[in-house]
Amino acid sequence: MQANEFIVGSRYRNRDQGYEVLDIQGDQLHVRYDDLTEDWGDSTLFARIYTNIQREEAGAFPRQLAAGRNQDFAWTLGVIARHGELHAEVPPQSWRGFEHDYRTITGNPNIADEPCVFRSAIGGGNKWGSELRIYIPERFCNDARFILPANLNLVAADVPDRRRINNNEFWWFLVERLNFRAGKTQGQNEIQARLPNDVLNSFLLGFQTP
């Protein structure tokens, strides 16, 4: 979005809340926020923030997701956030790269202390890479709403009544794009902040499913 594309009377939003444009004077916008406060601000800054939010939301759904299943995928994300576990088994030769990437994305300087991140004793030069897995209770995988991108498969897990996704790309997608973290405790608000508004109710339904 460009700074000159704002329209008086239209709604937009920033990181905190929505707002309506009340007036435009040169490069300044007069806006009313959802909390009823009003302010003036630089249209270029408003446009940059709004564009970044749109880009992030566009990346909330993998390209391989079946058309028309965004609501179901949001429900599935809620289930994974509440009941799933993100595991990482990292061999010695991959540890430095994994630690750098995870720390850069999450800001956590103590990746070795993360739950469900294991520094594997298995070496083998370049033969073995990191194995990133997502564990999900089997009862959810049989629900009609449960959906994964077409390139992913569920396999039997080494834990009773659980299924597993073995896919490094999807693991990193959850961490980088959607604010998931290694382990079994996820930040509901942090994930919701990366999802489009029209699927938040579906995400919450999945997250609240017992």
113/181 Cα distance (integer angstroms): 12
Amino acid 126: pLDDT: 45
Higher pLDDT, 135 or 97: 135
Higher pLDDT, 80 or 160: 80
Q: Please say if the pLDDT value at position 186 is more than 90.
A: yes
> What is the rounded average pLDDT of the residues 109-121?
75
- Kindly report, residue by residue over 82-103, the tens digit of the pLDDT: 999 999 988 887 888 888 888 8
152/173 Cα distance (integer angstroms): 13
Report helix angle 70-83 to 168-178, nearest 10.
90
Which residues are CB-neighbours of 190 under 8 A, at least 6 positions away? 179
Q: Please say if the pLDDT value at position 145 is more than 50.
A: yes
Which residues are CB-neighbours of 126 under 8 A, at least 6 positions away? 93
Q: Please say if the pLDDT value at position 56 is more than 80.
A: no
Q: Please say if the pLDDT value at position 80 is more than 80.
A: yes
Domains of the chain: 3-58 (2.30.30), 70-208 (3.10.28)
97/95 Cα distance (integer angstroms): 6
Higher pLDDT, 8 or 71: 71
141/7 Cα distance (integer angstroms): 45
